[in-house]
Amino acid sequence: MLRAAQQVQEAARRGRSDNHLLLLSVQSILAIDAPNALAALAGLEGLQRPLQQLCPLLQRGPTQAEEAELLRYTLSLAKLSGRLLAHPAALDRLQRGIEQAHRQIDHFGELLHPSVLAGLAETYAEGIGTLSPRIIVAGESRFLTRDEDTSRIRTLLLGGIRAGVLWRQAGGKIWTTLLERNRLCTCSQEYLRQLPMASANRS
């Protein structure tokens, strides 16, 4: 969820879009039959930055406006994932959208084809956008008005919802996350040690 929040913020405020992380997000949305949560998130790859930021946010809280914004996005994704699981019509719309995305990928041969992203964005708007709390994305108007940018941002948010559902299915709750933040920090550090780049950066 935090990875999705980071990427949405980068896209909305600075017009930056990491295609590789967007690809991982799309893969996670489509990985309905993954054997475990880590596989559904496409492994540890692409999780270095959120893992690095998770512990400071949990331990000291946000110290600047953009960190507060990240926390707001992440908490909204956590809440929306719970609302989704309790809303059969939204779940059905999400399922139909994922099936459509698979057909489009078979047709176009690309996970990041504009039509695939537009379809996933529509799935988010029609399936998640009807639930509350609605996520209001802040940023530069020039990065929030083009159809291509809107599709990327909504696809990233849908990837965040996918992560939130996995978190919920593992027993995740917002209040327990706060109570167990020290253990979560320890886990995040253990995962970071498994990433070669993280080890290299600390040495």
pLDDT digits (tens, 9 = 90+) for 180-191: 899 999 999 999
16-47 per-position pLDDT tens digit: 889 999 999 999 999 988 888 888 887 887 89
Which CATH number do you get for residue 190?
Answer: 1.10.3890.10
Secondary structure class of 72 (helix, strand, coil) = helix
| Sequence-distant (≥ 6) Cβ neighbours of residue 60 within 8 angstroms | none
Tell me how far apart the terminal alpha carbons of the chain are, to the nearest angstrom. 28
Angle at 27 between CA 185 and CA 202, to 5 degrees: 35
Sequence-ordered strand ranges (E) for 37-196: none
Are 84 and 161 a contacting pair, CB within 8 Å? yes
Number of domains in the chain: 1
* Secondary structure of 44-55 in HEC code, one letter for each residue: CCCCHHHHHHHH
Tokens of 149: 């940018």
pLDDT band of residue 199 (cuts 50, 70, 90) is: very low
pTM (2 d.p.): 0.92
Report which of residues 65 and 60 the model is more confident about: 65
Length of the chain: 203
| Domain carrying residue 44 | 2-202
122-151 per-position pLDDT tens digit: 999 999 998 998 999 999 999 999 899 999
**Predicted pLDDT at 103:** 97
